[in-house]
């Protein structure tokens, strides 16, 4: 007898296949997958906190367990004064900019701060002056209208209380720079930004002021020019090839495109940002693109597009990254690896985050462009009103982003060694379509997802699956398609659907439904080495 609201284990049609010509091993007898969920609260592991508490997290004592690689901060964050472990990432030991003592006020260079006068030249002069010996550029209270500002090494841009750096609504005020790869969202290899730097080191943007991107002035407009397919739109912050970057405490609103885009940058500390956008798609929140040695902590992100995204548009992997203590809301995904996955991902830790109203899913782990995704741990996540809480995809889209220094055609990247544990999620049908409310793990024939562990997951789903849904078979592979949690349509499970996987361990999975559902809780197809407890 099964617990009310809990589906049965897969029948023989969905059993893992152990090899050609052999009969599939029969599953263990139907078993209880767990109690019905009550109030959704996270596991209270050492150092954790109640759901909804978004204050700073003390990570002392958990660094070795979470990050594994001792070189994570010691070798990649030397300029921030951080030690080997994450014990240095407490509020008392937050990194300080290593700059000179020179402090300059932009008004001394002619900035007006009246919201109508373009202060670009004055702000740039202040930055250049501070950059000669290192120092701090202060924006006092006021509204400083500006086009692109080129940040310099050893310079802190400090936004005082009441200060607003306001992006110009005129794209002519944003000179184009080389992105280094083809941009999937805009097209071409150019990038525009309000704050820009390339090859700089020890760059800090801080303060309790605000940066407003004037995003409403840059809608997505298709053009006949494939190099700017949706029109030039400025990112708010774009730093490429930089070292020792600190972004903290600032409020970022309505970027023209992605809000924070850090590319090929090492030694990153992003802390306590508030990021909002509501104008149009491609207003992602925080994007780490082929970065190494990065911490994103205590940020509040509410965006129209993905909230926090790790990408690898370049041949280098995105590696040694910690995302912790963030509150994420999005009309798209909350936290995502992909889809740009040329260089792959490794040594990623995602922990103690709260997701709210994520309409295209909670956590997405995707490699589709030939890079390997490996050594990823996600833990202590609480999700309220999301679409599919978890989507893992190994695909073969094979984009090279216009790079000539990579293998072409692109191989199928590996996806292995992924551990997801201590997750509480309530799936809301209003957060997404019925086709997108089921967790999924999907590889390709001959290219399975390998070594995935799911442990202590409590998931509440809407229910509503029909007997016809439960009998569904012949689901297309869609190997080259854009990876999305809705790509396979309504799935034949109401909790977890797995296809083309090897070495899958599922322990203490609890799934309840808000209403009747004719589908089983778990369905597997072409899964070897299934350990379901």
Domains of the chain by start residue, with CATH: 105-532 (2.160.20.10)
Quick one: pLDDT band at residue 531, thresholds 50, 70, 90?
Answer: very high
What gap in Å lies between CA 114 and CA 95, rounded to an integer? 33
34-58 residue pLDDT tens: 322 223 233 333 333 333 433 333 3
- For β-strands 308-312 and 201-207, DSSP reports them as unpaired
328-380 residue pLDDT tens: 999 999 999 999 999 999 999 999 999 999 999 999 999 999 999 999 999 99
- For β-strands 260-263 and 235-240, DSSP reports them as parallel
Q: What percent of the chain has pLDDT over 90?
A: 74
- Mean pLDDT, to the nearest integer, of 70-78? 39
The two three-digit tokens of residue 18, written as one number: 């152990």
Which are the contacts of 267, defined by CB distance < 8 A and separation ≥ 6?
A: 76, 77, 78, 79, 80, 243, 244, 245, 293, 294
What gap in Å lies between CA 351 and CA 59, rounded to an integer? 11
Q: Do the Cβ atoms of 30 and 9 come closer than 8 Å?
A: yes
Secondary structure E strands in 113-162: 114-118, 135-139, 142-146, 149-150, 155-159
Query: Closest by alpha carbon to 496, among 422, 417, 442, 444?
Result: 442
DSSP line for 401-419 = TT-SSS-SS--PPPEEEEE
The two three-digit tokens of residue 269, written as one number: 């500390």
Query: Closest by alpha carbon to 413, among 398, 400, 427?
Result: 398
203-253 residue pLDDT tens: 999 999 999 999 999 988 887 877 777 889 999 999 999 999 999 999 999
What gap in Å lies between CA 128 and CA 196, rounded to an integer? 13
What gap in Å lies between CA 452 and CA 158, rounded to an integer? 44
H/E stretch holding 125 reads helix 120-133
Instruction: Indicate whether 494 pLDDT > 90.
Output: yes
Which pLDDT does position 431 carry in this prediction? Answer: 60
Q: Do the Cβ atoms of 251 and 207 come closer than 8 Å?
A: no
Q: Do the Cβ atoms of 71 and 83 come closer than 8 Å?
A: no
Quick one: pLDDT band at residue 430, thresholds 50, 70, 90?
Answer: confident
99-151 residue pLDDT tens: 456 999 999 999 999 999 999 999 999 999 999 999 999 999 999 999 999 99
Query: Closest by alpha carbon to 476, among 467, 489, 465, 495?
Result: 489
Query: Is pLDDT larger for residue 274 or for residue 98?
Result: 274
Q: Do the Cβ atoms of 139 and 163 come closer than 8 Å?
A: yes
pTM: 0.83
Instruction: Indicate whether 84 pLDDT > 50.
Output: no
Cis peptide bond N-terminal to 409, omega within 30: yes
Q: What percent of the chain has pLDDT over 70?
A: 80
Which pLDDT does position 19 carry in this prediction? Answer: 36
Query: Closest by alpha carbon to 386, among 342, 349, 334?
Result: 334
Instruction: Indicate whether 477 pLDDT > 70.
Output: yes
Q: Do the Cβ atoms of 205 and 246 come closer than 8 Å?
A: yes
SS3 86: helix
- Burial of 48 by CB count in 10 Å (0-12 exposed, 13-18 middle, 19+ buried)? middle
**Highest averaged pLDDT of the listed ranges 88-102, 221-235, 474-488:** 474-488
Which pLDDT does position 121 carry in this prediction? Answer: 98
Quick one: pLDDT band at residue 5, thresholds 50, 70, 90?
Answer: very low
What is the residue-averaged pLDDT of the chain? 84
- Mean pLDDT, to the nearest integer, of 498-507? 98
Which pLDDT does position 224 carry in this prediction? Answer: 80
Instruction: Indicate whether 417 pLDDT > 80.
Output: yes
Which pLDDT does position 432 carry in this prediction? Answer: 60
Instruction: Indicate whether 6 pLDDT > 50.
Output: no
- Residue 501 sits at the vertex; the CA angle it makes with 496 and 506, to the nearest 5 degrees, is 50
List, in sequence order, the alpha helices (H) in 107-232: 120-133
Q: Do the Cβ atoms of 367 and 339 come closer than 8 Å?
A: no
What gap in Å lies between CA 348 and CA 493, rounded to an integer? 29
SS3 194: strand
Instruction: Indicate whether 179 pLDDT > 90.
Output: yes
The two three-digit tokens of residue 43, written as one number: 């596991």
- Mean pLDDT, to the nearest integer, of 287-301? 98
């Amino acid at each position: 007898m099964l617990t009310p609201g809990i589906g049965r284990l897969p029948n023989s049609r969905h059993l893992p296949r152990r090899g050609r010509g052999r009969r599939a091993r029969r599953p263990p007898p139907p078993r209880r997958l767990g109690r019905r969920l009550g109030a959704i609260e996270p596991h209270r592991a050492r150092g954790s906190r109640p759901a909804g508490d978004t204050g700073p997290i003390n990570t002392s004592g958990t660094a070795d367990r979470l990050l594994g690689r001792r070189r994570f901060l010691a070798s990649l964050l030397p300029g921030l004064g951080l030690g080997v472990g994450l014990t240095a990432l407490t509020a008392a030991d937050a990194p300080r900019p290593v700059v000179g003592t020179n402090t300059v006020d932009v008004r001394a260079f002619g900035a007006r701060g009246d919201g109508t006068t373009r202060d670009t030249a004055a702000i740039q002069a202040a930055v250049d002056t501070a950059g000669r010996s290192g120092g701090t550029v202060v924006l006092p209270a006021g509204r400083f209208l500006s086009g692109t500002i080129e940040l310099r090494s050893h310079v802190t841009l400090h936004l005082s209380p009441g200060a607003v750096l306001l992006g110009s609504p005129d794209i002519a005020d944003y000179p184009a720079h080389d992105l280094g790869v083809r941009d999937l969202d805009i097209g071409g290899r150019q990038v525009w930004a309000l704050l820009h730097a390339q090859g700089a080191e020890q760059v800090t943007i801080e303060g309790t002021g605000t940066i407003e991107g004037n995003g409403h002035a840059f809608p997505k407009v298709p053009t006949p020019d494939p190099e700017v397919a949706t029109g030039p739109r400025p990112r708010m912050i774009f730093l490429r090839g930089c070292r020792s970057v600190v972004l903290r405490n600032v409020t970022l609103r309505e970027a023209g495109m992605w809000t924070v885009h850090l590319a090929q940058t090492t030694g990153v500390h992003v802390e306590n940002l508030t990021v909002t956008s509501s104008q149009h798609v491609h207003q992602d929140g925080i994007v780490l693109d082929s970065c190494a040695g990065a911490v994103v902590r205590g940020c509040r992100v509410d965006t129209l597009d993905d909230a926090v995204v790790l990408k690898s548009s370049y041949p280098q992997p995105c590696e040694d990254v910690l995302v912790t203590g963030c509150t994420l809301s999005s009309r798209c995904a909350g936290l995502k690896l992909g889809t740009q996955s040329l260089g792959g991902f490794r040594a990623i830790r995602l922990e103690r985050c709260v997701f709210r109203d994520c309409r295209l899913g909670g956590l997405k782990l995707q490699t589709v462009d030939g890079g390997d995704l490996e050594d990823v741990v996600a833990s202590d996540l609480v999700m309220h009103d999301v679409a599919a809480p978890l989507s893992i995809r190994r695909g073969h889209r094979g984009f090279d982003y216009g790079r000539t220094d990579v293998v072409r055609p692109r191989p199928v990247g590996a996806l292995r060694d992924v551990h997801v544990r201590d997750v509480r999620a309530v799936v809301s049908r209003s957060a997404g379509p019925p086709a997108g409310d089921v967790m999924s793990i999907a590889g390709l024939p001959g290219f399975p997802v390998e070594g995935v562990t799911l442990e202590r997951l409590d998931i509440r789903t809407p229910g509503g699956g029909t007997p016809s849904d439960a009998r569904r078979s012949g689901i297309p592979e869609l190997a080259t398609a854009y990876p999305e949690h809705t790509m396979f349509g309504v799935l034949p499970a109401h909790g977890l659907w797995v296809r083309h996987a090897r070495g899958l361990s599922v322990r203490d999975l609890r799934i309840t439904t808000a209403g009747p559902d004719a589908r089983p809780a778990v369905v597997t197809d072409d899964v070897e080495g299934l350990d379901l407890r």
